[in-house]
A and B are shown apart, each in its own frame.
Chain A
Amino acid sequence: MKKPWYEWIQSIDRRIIYLVVFVVVSLPFFIKIKLPMRPSEPTENLYNKVEQIADYNKTSTKKKCIFFQMDWTPSVQAECWPQTEAMIEHCFMRDIPFIIMGWAPEGPMLTQTIAEKRAKEHGKKYGEDWVNFGYKPMNLPAFLAFIKDVYSQINQDTEGTPIRNVPVMQNVESIRDVDLIFHVTGSGGVEAWIQYLQPETGTDVATGCTAIIGPEMYPYLDSGQLIGMMEGLSGAAQYEHQIGYIGKGTRGSGSQNLAHFWIIAMMVLGNVGYLFQRKQEREEKQRLEMAGE
């Protein structure tokens, strides 16, 4: 017997849905689909903060820097790579020095790769424009000691140079000389800076996070504990849009938008099918009851 449409719609083979997702996501790689982009408030705030640092550095002899806490791994690089790339691009464009460190082993390695790639185009040099502390696993007491005195916990950079001899570090006597902590993560951890660093020094903290943990960050944005945020691939695309750079975020946003349209369409159709089926079942039940009477 032929299934009614509302039942058919609820029992589409998931593999067909995946196949359509594949086609839909692939389309923008071959056909240019341009949708309007409007940066969200947290992304705009982050951009403004970086611009503020750049403006300060223009007029001051002692340059302020950004601390990149890179706690991401290859499993979340789809979202965290474009975020990191956009921020590095902005720093290079506006001549802001930065420091890389990570509590996850792969984060600083991948960030170094991005920095080296972008540095070639901007004529920037390792040591003068950025430094990489590398993977520094820290438990809480070690982290508190790091906040009190960076040099007590970090002796050398990833190249084995004592960090006191690295030119970027000449303007950094303590963590107070860092004007922004930019924490990129796939699984939280930004709270450590909010809980232990911010009350002591008042340093602004921002995050680049996966879309999954994005909603959890909004209370911190609302209270001002986080100054800004790049949320997922769309956050990276918005930031790229602000700095006028076309990177992985912008390239992926078309695919993401189409995929979302498809998912929303499937959800609506599935629910419409379910509602109709329920209505039919109710009517059938009433008919049977009446026939029984």
Chain B
Amino acid sequence: MATELEANDASRKRTELIVVLVISGAVLAYILIDMFRAMASPPDGQSGFGALFDRFMVGVAAICTIVIYSFLYKENPFYRFLEHVLVGLSVGFYTMLTWTQLLKPNWWDKLTGADGLPPNWYWLLAIFPGLMWYFQLSRKKVWLSRIIIMFFMGTGAGLSFKGIFNLLLTPGRGQIQQSFKPFLTRFGGGVVFTATNFNNIIFIVVILCVLSYFFFSFRHDKIKILPYSSTLGRYFLMVCFGTIFGTTVQGRMSLFIDRLTFLYTEWLKVLAG
């Protein structure tokens, strides 16, 4: 039995290897043909070598796309390699950006004097609070990092409180104010019940039920209606989470569609862009 399973496994691996080799060969052959075809007849305003390089880069992007999606079949070393390449590229890219977009214009240029401005050596002082963050790495001196974190936490908390109050209480648009919705609408000297009012009732019921689910100040069975409203609240929450899950699937599909669009239009050119 064990030998039969091993034989099946070996046969499957052999088939997989053949399929991978055939696909890789076809992909590489297409990229080479595409590159030399582009070099032979480059688009207007581009040199032959430029066109060849452009198509080479498109080919690399296509290989990366295919290899990353190969994970859907099963985990493999090519996928793992590209995953690491992506992480490495991101770190390199963001390190470069931190210097060129953040530290250089905001600190280094001011310190050394750029664009004809005199150097301002006071900017050297900024190094010390910056370095204090790194005491997180020392068990003995970690208290030094807490001093600088204290300033950040204090500023952040203060400003966030302001933001949250604005979000909830801004006149005319605040979340709390907008939660008070009319059950009836004034019309021609009287009151009528419209579809919007019906919507508002649903809105209020959902809010109260969900709030009651998170009400932990005393036992729910002490007030007769609470067990029912909190159960209903749980169902409403589940509907909400279901919606979020659905839109997540929608998002993932969009990513896949985008990659297929790239493969069909830019790489294989079977469709017009």
Q: Is there an interface contact between A212 and B244, defined as CB atoms closer than 8 Å?
A: yes
- A:128-176 near B, CB below 8 Å: 134-135, 137, 140-141, 144
Q: Is there an interface contact between B258 and A77, defined as CB atoms closer than 8 Å?
A: yes
**Interface-forming stretch among B5-13, B159-167, B220-228?**
B159-167
Q: Is there an interface contact between A196 and B166, defined as CB atoms closer than 8 Å?
A: yes
A137/B244 contact (C-beta < 8 A), A195-B166, A211-B250 known: no
- A:27-55 near B, CB below 8 Å: 29-30
A211/B254 contact (C-beta < 8 A), A195-B167, A224-B172 known: yes
Measured between beta carbons, the chain A residues less than 8 angstroms from B250 are 211, 232-234, 256, 260
Q: Does A194 contact B (CB under 8 A)?
A: yes
Q: List 16 A-B contacts (CB under 8 A).
A: A29-B264, A77-B258, A140-B159, A194-B166, A195-B164, A198-B166, A198-B170, A211-B251, A212-B251, A216-B244, A233-B254, A252-B254, A252-B258, A252-B261, A256-B253, A259-B253
Q: A140-B159, A255-B257 are in contact. List 9 more A-B contacts (CB 8 A).
A: A81-B258, A137-B102, A194-B166, A195-B164, A232-B250, A234-B250, A252-B261, A255-B253, A255-B260
Measured between beta carbons, the chain B residues less than 8 angstroms from A222 are 178, 203
Q: Contact check: which of A105, A141, A259 meets B159 at CB < 8 Å?
A: A141
Q: Is there an interface contact between A210 and B251, defined as CB atoms closer than 8 Å?
A: yes
Measured between beta carbons, the chain B residues less than 8 angstroms from A196 are 162-163, 166
State the interface size on chain A (CB cutoff 8 A): 50
CA distance A210 to B249 in the complex (A): 11
Q: Does A3 contact B (CB under 8 A)?
A: no
Measured between beta carbons, the chain A residues less than 8 angstroms from B188 are none
A215/B257 contact (C-beta < 8 A), A18-B72, A198-B173, A224-B178 known: no
Majority secondary structure, B binding face: helix
Measured between beta carbons, the chain B residues less than 8 angstroms from A233 are 250, 254, 257
Size category, B interface: 35 or more
Q: Does B47 contact A (CB under 8 A)?
A: no
Q: Is there an interface contact between B155 and A140, defined as CB atoms closer than 8 Å?
A: yes
CA distance A78 to B256 in the complex (A): 8
Residue ranges of B at the interface with A (Cβ–Cβ < 8 Å): 72-73, 93-94, 97, 101-102, 155-156, 159-160, 162-164, 166-167, 170, 172-175, 177-178, 203, 240, 243-244, 247-251, 253-261, 264, 270-271
Closest to B172 in A: A224
CA distance A35 to B91 in the complex (A): 43
Q: Does A244 contact B (CB under 8 A)?
A: no
Measured between beta carbons, the chain A residues less than 8 angstroms from B255 are 76, 78-79
Measured between beta carbons, the chain A residues less than 8 angstroms from B203 are 222
